[in-house]
A and B are shown apart, each in its own frame.
Chain A
Amino acid sequence: MGDDHHNPNFIQKYIFSTDHKMIGIQYGITALLFLLFGFFLMMLMRWSIAYPNEPLPEWLGFAFNEDWKARWLTDGKVTGETYNMFGAMHGTIMVFLGVVPLGFGAFGNYVGPLQVGAIDMAFPKLNMMSYWLYLVGGLMMCGSFFLESGTAKSGWTNYPPLSSYADSQHPNQFFTGQTQWLLGMVFLISSSLLGSVNVITTIVNLRAKGMTWMRLPFFVWAMLVVAFLLLLAFPPLEVAGILQLVDRFTGSSFFQPTGLYQSGVGVVEQAGGGSPLLFQHLFWFLGHPEVYVLLLPAIAVVAEIIPVNTRKPLWGYKSMVYAVMVLGFLSFIVWAHHMYITGMGPAISTFFQVTTVLISVPSVVLITSMLISLWGGSIRFTVPMMWACAFLPMFGIGGLTGLPLAFNLVDLHLHDTYYVIGHFHYVVAPGILFGLFGGIYHWYPKMFGRYMNTFLGHLHFWPSLIFINLVFFPMLLQGMAGFHRRWYNGGAAYLESDPDGENVFGQTVREWIDLNELMSWSVFLLAAAQLPFIINLFTAWFSGRKVENDNPWNATTLEWNTPTPPPHGNFVTEPSVYRGPYEYSRPDADGDYYPQWVDKSETAKSNEKESADA
């Protein structure tokens, strides 16, 4: 069908665009804004943790009007209920509205079709629907800040029965935060579903001529696996969300065990016989693949940045491809390592322990391959490369700190402590986000024809690296000492003043509580370190150094074979692919790189197997 609008108007071109690049940018901007908002929520939380007795300072409280503060703060201080609101929304926003849309929605959309040599995604209109479903779902969730009940406040995990009772004493169940969270999640899952169908179909069916499976850039392999994870793992969460919605709207007992007693209400009038455990299983069936959905786009990005900036092929490409597929498969059968304390017996928890320890193998293969890729390379420390190089050790720390959590016995001690928070933030924040930032600096020149400013890039990178470690490393220490997570007063309630008192735990808290102040101030300084980035995004667009040509980094993958920025239809002529994606420093080729799209010239002695298998 002749779908091309030769003269799209403003709305068709920029608002309801069906072009994957515009949609990618929409995802990117929206995700970055949500990330910023989630960061802000976390700053409020960290204030409460470090200074539970002090009211929010003016420079943090500026976002709220007096009415909101009168409702949700007491004496200007963050209350437990309000902290829980911030906490639940911080987690939700960062994971579902921030990192995944940025990694999969923004990068997957923008770079994916370009790298396979397609003119757009397989279903452009569905692609547009994906974005708008995401935006609507996100706005529903965040909009609940303005409801009388506030937002969801039972953790980003929303375990019932707590989440069933949250906001239950409201005549209009529809306009409560928990309900809006669940409904928003339905929108997000639909968005995800359409997106993954699109990505898989594009990769399978729209590859350019000559683009065989083993010539695909690793980025594309990673996105393919992510799409399958989203496709197959999200539906059980949808089931959990639907069942919880039915519980809220009809008073059913899917997740309510028999005999619950609620203070102020008495014995709850419900049928009972439900299973809170069922929710946890359904949630974590998604929850675990979700963390690989967070991770793989970052690995994908770093795997592209490294060869470009070392002028060497990616080491172990084939192993990485197999590793990522094994990782995807295994990620479906490890989930209950989030549930070791729910009373699973030795047989089943050993099963999960084994699969969890196993899954570290492909992850290590991926990281090690990228590390080895640096060896003997002619390294250019461009800003993207700095972020990519920081990703490796930071994710390494995150991954290694995960190992104790994999063992069911050790996890009994560490579960729900700050150790867990330290672990997963190391993976996501200095890990994944650094990788994704690198991607932004790396592909910005292709998207806008200008480099991002290097000096601002350094101003962004170095303080971020230092402060982010100061934020999360102490958490590992506090956690091992036994600090719980989700304490709105940072542990102050447990302080024991008498050094000879019997409350041993209070002594532990006393020893480690001062780290809270260090971490909170590091967070505030980390926030300041993001300002150069925000400024850079704008100023580079107007006045950044222009790129010299369409391939400023001298890269080999197909996205650099387009005009800058790529027009509707992406390629001037239909691309053909003649070799693998990382042909750098080939001894038999002219120049230090041999792009995928360049036809074999007479001088090239290609010893590459040109297999035509699908």
Chain B
Amino acid sequence: MEIPYVVTPRKDTGLNNSKIAIWLFLASEVMLFGGLFSAYIFLRIYADYPWPERALAVLPGLVNTFILIASSVTVVFAWASLKLRNWRAFQGFMGFTVFCALVFMVLKSIEYNSKFHHHAVRTSEYSSVEGHVHYFEEGHGSGSGHAGGESSDKSEGSSDGHKYLSITGETLEGGKHIDHNFYVVDPTAGDANVTFDLDRFHPDYDKYINVIIGCAGKGKITLAKDYWYTQREVSGNSVKVTEKILFKEGSVLALRDEKNEESVISIAELQEAKDAFLLARKHEQKIRTKAQRVAGAALTKALKEDSLLRGMSRWEDDAVKFRDKVLKEELAKLEANGQFDSDYAKAASTISFSVAKDAHLIRVKPSWGFMTGKETGKDTNIALLDGTLITGIAGDSSLPIAVDALDFTHLVMRAEDKGLDADALIEESLLFDSQVDATGQLRTVWEAHKKWRALFAAELAKKGKVPTENDKYRVTWHQMVAYHRLDYQIDNLGEVKKVTPGLFEDFKGANHKNKEEVKAYPELRIPRENMVLDSKLTPKWNNYYGIYFTITGLHGLHVIGGAIVLGYYLFFGRKMYDSNPDWLANRVEVGGLFWHFVDLVWIFVFPIFYLM
């Protein structure tokens, strides 16, 4: 028996099943993208910070729009070819459609990639900079094995011919690099400790431990105190409690595969300590639960029978006191004499190591946890996501960054809210500090920008218009390059326009690999305590990127899905074409409807995210 109306339409509705189904599906997609666009609208309208306008390079988006429109046309030509029984034409048009989808995704990944490599920092005064963070390259430190020396950090150069040292000092394959973005603890400046939370510690997260050991150096982290536990043996009526030592003070924290000298603690041993703690906790909970049960039962009985408590509610003070008393007695009794054997009766939940004074800097990635006390030379406390705590004196955790965008708009917004003079505050900005902007190039850029904006404002005033906040307070990479090309002598707008990178240079955004261009970007060193938020240009940076990546990402998944389905009909549709060509035409039509919907969504995405 066959399901009816798969190909032939039903008379009264005039539709076949898949037509109904695809439109139902598209209805739900309308609600899906409707929900997403509504999120966009409200996040934008009610943003309490300046919403980035036109922050994306237009050209890739424009090309992608043309590609999708073209593919929309060819997919409908493909369907028409099937109806006209022209298999070759169908293959051609459908092939072109799928090819367009692939090119679309390639362009998209290029766009995404350039954003994911771009860093942004917001400071405590609401100014922000964007740019490229320095990364490790082969540094000095002849075989000392520690991460490249501070003085040798440079961000120039391409990946060819350079080796990169990892955060712990091993050499990585060329091309891979580690951002110079760390929380740093300096053991040489004061006592440093590493404490593991055995409850949350998990052997799979060994990268944290490996990095800590690798940074500090071999043999530099040792157990601060004996890790002891108690053992309990029940024989008849007597209970013997013995204290044992699992790991001795001074044992060395080491990597998994280092040669075993005496008393080494690796991940395996930490797992042992965790097991001891868990078993001890289990044992303790058993005892306490039993005690609670006894107390509870005693209370229930007393509430029925005891002369003082009879008829009382269990919530009365006296009842509660009674229960507490019984609990305390029972607990003491069970601790002393309870019939609970345990190899591990008591064990600590944390295990603490001290770091040798001559160990190297311990550096961890900021995404691994959070740091309190960020000023260099002050007490600090880094708590990692698995409960590991690193305490000590903070090292230099500042961020070296080659800046290609300078943005004071948020600062201005906050200043105006508070009725302060924004321009004056900008002049005092910490970004211009000699500590931060060592060469003074950022200040030079800003001065040039102020000249430019005065000229621009005059130009606009002729038409009765005013510059936007973005124009006044945000310096883009195009402008930095232009000012640099003019050697920061800004005399007239036409000159600036001539040397400003245009639509085509804009394809991939700022290019930090170009030796000439990179000179336009000032080098800053932002102290960690002044950094309030730092991230790549990902959803974390602000909701604009968040909603952009989410919507285009979901749209991209739909492009891939559609391409797979259409590709299936392209490559495997011949058999269906030979047996029942109208069925294939039907399927291609349904697939085409989905494809048009994907195009329809992009028709809105492009102007909204790239042009508004």
Q: How far is the CA of A253 from the CA of B10 in the complex (A)?
A: 49
A-B pairs with beta carbons under 8 Å apart, 12 shown = A75-B292, A124-B3, A171-B384, A197-B25, A200-B20, A235-B32, A251-B539, A271-B122, A273-B542, A274-B43, A275-B46, A568-B1
Contact check, A75 vs B285: say whether CB atoms are below 8 A apart: yes
CB of A516 to closest CB in B, whole Å: 10
Q: How far is the CA of A204 from the CA of B14 in the complex (A)?
A: 11
Contact check, B533 vs A270: say whether CB atoms are below 8 A apart: yes
B29 within 8 A of A: yes
A500 within 8 A of B: no
CB of B198 to closest CB in A, whole Å: 12
CB of A580 to closest CB in B, whole Å: 18
B535 within 8 A of A: yes
Chain A residues 185-224 with CB under 8 Å of chain B are 193, 196-198, 200-201, 204-206
B110 within 8 A of A: no
A590 within 8 A of B: no
CB of B128 to closest CB in A, whole Å: 11
Contact check, B48 vs A272: say whether CB atoms are below 8 A apart: yes
CB of A18 to closest CB in B, whole Å: 10
Closest residue of B by beta carbon distance from A251: B540
The listed residue (B43, B200, B550) touching A242 by CB distance below 8 A is: B550
Closest residue of A by beta carbon distance from B24: A197
* Residues in B neighbouring A232, C-beta threshold 8 A: 27-28, 31
CB of B558 to closest CB in A, whole Å: 13
Most buried by B among A193, A205, A206, A510: A205
Also in contact, A205 and B15, with CB within 8 A (given A495-B315, A514-B313): yes
Q: How far is the CA of A205 from the CA of B11 in the complex (A)?
A: 9
| Tally of A-B Cβ pairs under 8 angstroms | 210
Closest residue of A by beta carbon distance from B324: A53
Interface residues on B, range: 35 or more
The listed residue (B27, B35, B323, B540) touching A231 by CB distance below 8 A is: B27
A558 within 8 A of B: no
B532 within 8 A of A: yes
The listed residue (B24, B288, B315, B541) touching A510 by CB distance below 8 A is: B315
The listed residue (B24, B25, B289, B547) touching A75 by CB distance below 8 A is: B289
* Residues in B neighbouring A8, C-beta threshold 8 A: none
B370 within 8 A of A: yes
B278 within 8 A of A: yes
Listed stretches A115-123, A361-369, A453-461; interface member? A115-123
A55 within 8 A of B: yes
Contact check, B42 vs A122: say whether CB atoms are below 8 A apart: no
The listed residue (A200, A258, A275, A514) touching B24 by CB distance below 8 A is: A200
Contact check, A148 vs B32: say whether CB atoms are below 8 A apart: no
Contact check, A513 vs B315: say whether CB atoms are below 8 A apart: yes
The listed residue (B3, B20, B286) touching A120 by CB distance below 8 A is: B3
Closest residue of A by beta carbon distance from B280: A70
Q: Mark A220-234, 1 if CB is under 8 A from B, else 0.
A: 000000000001111
Interface residues on A, range: 35 or more
Closest residue of B by beta carbon distance from A495: B315
Contact check, A122 vs B3: say whether CB atoms are below 8 A apart: yes
* Residues in B neighbouring A273, C-beta threshold 8 A: 43, 47-49, 542-543
Contact check, B36 vs A234: say whether CB atoms are below 8 A apart: no
Q: Mark A62-88, 1 if CB is under 8 A from B, else 0.
A: 000011011101111100000000000
Q: Mark A35-57, 1 if CB is under 8 A from B, else 0.
A: 00000000000000001011100
* Residues in B neighbouring A275, C-beta threshold 8 A: 42-43, 46
A243 within 8 A of B: yes
CB of A169 to closest CB in B, whole Å: 5
CB of B126 to closest CB in A, whole Å: 11
Which residues of B approach A to under 8 Å, CB–CB? 1-6, 10, 12-13, 15-17, 20-21, 24-25, 27-29, 31-32, 34-36, 39, 42-43, 46-49, 122, 200, 202, 204-205, 208, 278, 281-282, 285-286, 288-289, 291-293, 296, 313, 315-317, 323, 368, 370, 372, 383-387, 532-533, 535, 538-543, 545-547, 549-550, 554
Contact check, B20 vs A254: say whether CB atoms are below 8 A apart: no
Contact check, A67 vs B282: say whether CB atoms are below 8 A apart: yes
Contact check, B24 vs A66: say whether CB atoms are below 8 A apart: no
Contact check, A239 vs B4: say whether CB atoms are below 8 A apart: no
Closest residue of A by beta carbon distance from B318: A497
Contact check, A76 vs B288: say whether CB atoms are below 8 A apart: yes
Q: How far is the CA of A169 from the CA of B535 in the complex (A)?
A: 18
Contact check, B296 vs A51: say whether CB atoms are below 8 A apart: yes
Also in contact, A254 and B543, with CB within 8 A (given A55-B292, A282-B39): yes
Q: How far is the CA of A53 from the CA of B289 in the complex (A)?
A: 11
Chain A residues 494-521 with CB under 8 Å of chain B are 495, 497, 510, 513-514
Q: How far is the CA of A171 from the CA of B141 in the complex (A)?
A: 32
* Residues in B neighbouring A569, C-beta threshold 8 A: 1
The listed residue (A54, A200, A253, A492) touching B542 by CB distance below 8 A is: A253
Q: How far is the CA of A170 from the CA of B27 in the complex (A)?
A: 38
Contact check, A235 vs B370: say whether CB atoms are below 8 A apart: no
Contact check, A252 vs B31: say whether CB atoms are below 8 A apart: no
Q: How far is the CA of A552 from the CA of B198 in the complex (A)?
A: 64
A1 within 8 A of B: yes
Q: How far is the CA of A264 from the CA of B25 in the complex (A)?
A: 46
Contact check, B554 vs A1: say whether CB atoms are below 8 A apart: no
* Residues in B neighbouring A239, C-beta threshold 8 A: 32, 35-36, 39
Also in contact, A171 and B208, with CB within 8 A (given A70-B278, A148-B202): yes
Q: How far is the CA of A492 from the CA of B17 in the complex (A)?
A: 59
Contact check, A76 vs B285: say whether CB atoms are below 8 A apart: yes
Contact check, A270 vs B292: say whether CB atoms are below 8 A apart: no
* Residues in A neighbouring B538, C-beta threshold 8 A: 250, 252
* Residues in B neighbouring A612, C-beta threshold 8 A: 12
The listed residue (A67, A148, A169, A258) touching B48 by CB distance below 8 A is: A258
Contact check, A205 vs B282: say whether CB atoms are below 8 A apart: no
Contact check, B385 vs A123: say whether CB atoms are below 8 A apart: no
Closest residue of A by beta carbon distance from B10: A205
Most buried by B among A119, A254, A492: A254
